[in-house]
Amino acid sequence: MTLFALNGSESEFMHDHLPLFLRRFSLTYYREDFCIEYFISRRTSHETVSSALIFAYNPQIKFLHVSRFYPELCQRTNSRYLSAVCFYLLIHHSATVYCLDNTCHIRLETVEKTNMNFYSRLGDLNFRVSRHGVGDVVELTSDIILSSVDTSIIQNHVLQPGEIPFLK
- Domain membership of residue 155 (yes or no) is no
Q: Which of 149, 142, 50, 30 is nearest to 96 (CA)?
A: 149
Q: Which residues of 78-105 are buried (b: 16+ CB within 10 A; e: fewer)?
A: ebebbbbbbbbbbbbbbbebbebeeebb
Residue type, 50: S
> To which H or E segment does residue 137 belong?
strand 137-143
Entry pTM: 0.88
Please give the residue range of the domain that contains residue 40: 12-149
Please state the domain count of the chain: 1
Alpha helices in the chain (DSSP H): 12-24, 82-97, 112-117
CATH number at residue 108: 3.40.630.30
- Domain membership of residue 114 (yes or no) is yes
pLDDT tens figures, 93-142 = 999 999 998 889 999 999 999 999 899 888 768 899 999 989 999 999 99
Strand 128-132 with 137-143, pairing? antiparallel
